[in-house]
Amino acid sequence: MLIDIQQANANAIAAIQASQPVLKGIGTALEVVPGMKKNLILHAGPPITWERMSGPLRGAVMGALIYEGLANTPEEAEKLAATDKIEYSPWHEHDGVGPMAGVGTASMPVWILEEQKGGRKTFCTLNEGLGKVLRYGAYSEEVITRLKWMETVLAPVLKAAIPLAPEINLKNMIAQALQMGDEVHNRNKAATSLLIRELAPAIVKTSFPETDKARVLEFMHSNDHFFLNLSMPAAKMMLQAAEWIEGSTIVTTMCRNGTDFGIRIAGLKERWFTGQAQIVKGLLFPGFSEEDCNPDIGDSAITETCGLGGFSMAAAPAIVKFVGGTVNDAMNFTRKMYEITDGESQAFQIPNMEFRGSPLGINLLKVCEKNVLPQINTGIAHKKAGVGQVGAGLVNPPLKCFEDALEAYVEKYCKDE
Amino acid sequence: MLKDFFGKKVKVINLGIASFAEDLRKQGVETVHTDWRPPAGGNKKIQALLDKVASWQSKVKSAKGAR
């Protein structure tokens, strides 16, 4: 095969740079997510069975079954979840992403993003806020009540507002947020504010009761992470542009399900390479210790895969107060990531590095050769189902998934060398 | 003394472990540290796989150049 890897990777990065994800609207998962079914539960990370699921993912599945009316109690839900009546699939195989446990089911409202010039769509549920929430594995009554309010009030109001607002180009919004101290993984304060600024006038123009409109605005305002569920599908859409370019060694997916960390490579169509999800080192909420922490979980590492999150920490020095480390560490993480990437983002620029483009296009070969792992910052879930978030911190993928991917790459392209 | 060992002023380029460079600097030795690590972290299996990719790419570039 006469494939020039350098050229294939340049093509992959050019495709990522050209992608322009815009906010199209809100839909119900069953109606808009490809392959969605009433008995299907979408989750974060690579494929996994109920038997191997970690506590927070199990908790989120149980909560989702109660939310869908398929079970009345956590005990009933746990029993049902283990049967073949319920099917599981990764969000990534349905053009979507899910933060932390990332559980998505038929009735849940989802953001719909579309390529500006038309065509591809990506999806993500709406962010519930911090603390006791489904995505951290909590399933108590307050969690289900909030999800129902999101389905019956938040989503309809936003769905009506989006067509009344100017087109929201999420790539541009993320680029602006980086100039304002976000990295749009664990710091979304600026991006959430920018989103509210665009949507608020349109929300006011809708015909919903004033109390509903006020509550929607208060909900968005009270949650600094509201934008995360847009930065993630935006990153997913940009990276999908590089799938599946023959011969390219660019990483298009990094994600975790709380048990396994999984990656996919542009030139190795749809194949998963997995290793053990690692323990996150970081800052824990009062009353919790490292023993309480579940291993790394969530699709949010799609931001790092796209040059954001841990790769853009130099743009977000304040984040160290949330995930740990020093401002100097944040600068060094970004500098280090240039060693394993092939490009620099044209859109995402880091002000305190003279507006250098963020490190973009993780090259599998460079990760293996330099033995430098991608830097991820992330939330930490309690390892037991039903508890929720216990902190936030820093983590790396296991080297094994990159080594396995390299082996598969050689097997496919150059085993006779 | 290290200086006397070579009979003249020593300048050092340190590869790898940074603390070696720090120790020399503390002794007044002019030292440049290079952040070098063995390819593939010294993993021979990975290095062999990377060599296959490099060999293939070398042939690809030659073939394209000959066109």
What tokens appear for A242 in the block? 């590089």
Does A227 share its domain with A254? no
Number of domains observed in the structure of chain B: 2
For the cut 80, the answer to whether the pLDDT of residue B3 exceeds it is no
Residues A87, A302, A196, A358, Cα dihedral to 10°: -170
pLDDT band at B2 (very low <50, low <70, confident <90, very high): low
Task: Say if residue B31 is in the same domain as residue B44.
Answer: no
Whether residues A128 and A171 fall in one domain: yes
- State whether A275 and A408 are in the same domain: yes
Q: C-alpha angle with apex A62: A127 to A78, nearest 5 degrees?
A: 170
Looking at the structure, do residues A185 and A325 belong to the same domain, yes or no?
Answer: no
Query: B22 and B1, same structural domain?
Result: yes
In a domain, A103, yes or no: yes
Residues A340 and A398 in one domain: yes
Last residue in a domain, options A176, A201, A232:
A232
Name residue, tokens 């590492």: A301
Q: Which residue of B has its CA nearest to A412?
A: B53
Q: Which residues in chain B are closer than 8 Å to A403, comparing Cβ atoms?
A: 43, 45-46
Tokens 């002019």 correspond to: B30
Residue A191 shares a structural domain with residue A252: no
pLDDT recorded at residue B60: 95
Whether residues B52 and A369 touch (CB distance < 8 A) is answered with no
Q: Is residue A169 located within the same domain as residue A273?
A: no
B3 and B22 assigned to the same domain: yes
Contact indicator for A113, A237 with CB cutoff of 8 Å: yes
Are A186 and A324 in a shared domain? no
Nearest-angstrom CA–CA distance, B49 and A407: 7
CATH classification of the domain holding A368: 3.90.1700.10
Q: Does B18 touch chain A (CB under 8 A)?
A: no
B52 and B63 assigned to the same domain: yes
B32 plus B9 within the same structural domain? yes
Total domain count for chain A? 2
* pLDDT score at B9: 81
| Chain A residues closer than 8 Å to B49 by CB | 368, 406-407, 410
Among A399, A406, A411, A415, which would you mutate to test the B interface (most chain B Cβ atoms within 10 Å of its Cβ)? Answer: A406
Are A218 and A270 found together in one domain? no
B51: burial class by Cβ within 10 Å (0-12, 13-18, 19+)? middle
Residue range of the domain that includes B61: 39-67
Q: Are residues B2 and B32 in the same domain?
A: yes
Contact A368 B52 (CB under 8 A): no
Is the CB of residue B43 less than 8 Å away from at least one CB of chain A?
yes
Mutation for B interface: A371, A401, A402, most B CBs within 10 A = A371
Same-domain check for residues B1 and B28:
yes
Residues of B in contact with A415 (CB under 8 A): 52
Under an 8 A CB cutoff, do B52 and A406 touch?
A: no
Sign of CA dihedral A21, A27, A28, A30: negative
Note whether A314 and A335 are within 8 A (CB): yes
What's the ipTM?
0.92
Q: Which two tokens stand for residue A178?
A: 């980086």
The residue among A182, A208, A232 that closes a domain is A232
- Verify that B45 and B30 share a domain, yes or no: no
Strand partners, A264: A253
The dihedral formed by the CA atoms of A62, A67, A72 and A77, expressed in degrees to the nearest 10: -20
Note the Cα A198 to chain centre separation in Å: 22
Cα distance from A371 to chain B (closest Cα, Å)? 5
Same domain as B18, residue B7:
yes
Q: Do A417 and B52 touch (CB under 8 A)?
A: yes
Q: For residue A394, give the 3-state DSSP assignment.
A: strand
Judge: A368–B50 Cβ closer than 8 Å, yes or no: yes
Whether residue A243 is contained in a domain is answered as: no
Contact state of B52 with A4 under an 8 Å Cβ cutoff: no
3-state secondary structure string across A231-263: HHHHHHHHHHCCCCCCCCCEEEEEEEECCEEEE
In this structure, are A194 and A290 located in the same domain? no
Q: Does B63 touch chain A (CB under 8 A)?
A: yes
Task: Identify the domain containing residue A129 by its residue range.
Answer: 20-232
Q: Does B48 touch chain A (CB under 8 A)?
A: no
pLDDT at B6 over 80: no
Same domain, A184 and A282: no
Question: Does B1 lie in the same domain as B30?
Answer: yes
Q: How many CB atoms lie within 10 A of CB B18?
A: 11
Give the pLDDT confidence score for residue A93 in this predicted structure.
98
pLDDT digits 0-9 by tens, B9-66: 888 999 888 899 999 999 999 999 988 888 899 999 999 999 999 999 999 999 988 7
Same domain, A39 and A82: yes
Residue B5 to chain A, least CA–CA distance (Å): 35
Q: What is the pLDDT along chain A (417 residues), one digit of tens a residue?
A: 899 999 999 999 999 999 999 999 999 999 999 999 999 999 999 999 999 999 999 999 999 999 999 999 999 999 999 999 999 999 999 999 999 999 999 999 999 999 999 889 999 999 999 878 999 899 999 999 999 999 999 999 999 999 999 999 999 999 999 999 999 999 999 999 999 999 999 999 999 999 999 999 999 999 999 999 999 999 999 999 999 999 999 999 999 999 999 999 999 999 999 999 999 999 999 999 999 999 999 999 999 999 999 999 999 999 998 898 899 999 999 999 999 999 999 999 999 999 999 999 999 999 999 999 999 999 999 999 888 889 999 999 999 999 999 999 999 999 888
**Whether residue B67 sits in one domain with residue B50:** yes
The answer on B47 and B25 residing in a single domain is no
Residue A364's H or E segment, with its range, is helix A364-370
Q: Is residue A279 part of a domain?
A: yes
What single string gives the DSSP state of each residue in A182-233?
--SSS--HHHHHHHHHHHHHHHHHS-S-HHHHHHHHHHHHT-TTTTHHHHHH
Instruction: CATH number of the domain at A144, please.
Output: 3.90.1710.10
Beta carbons of A63 and A134 less than 8 angstroms apart: yes
The yes-or-no verdict on residue B1 having pLDDT over 60 is no
> Distance between alpha carbon A60 and the CA centroid of its chain, in Å?
16
CB A262 within 8 A of CB A255: yes
B60 and A2 within 8 Å at the Cβ level: the answer is: yes
CA distance A153 to chain B (A): 53
Q: Report if residue A11 sits inside a domain.
A: no
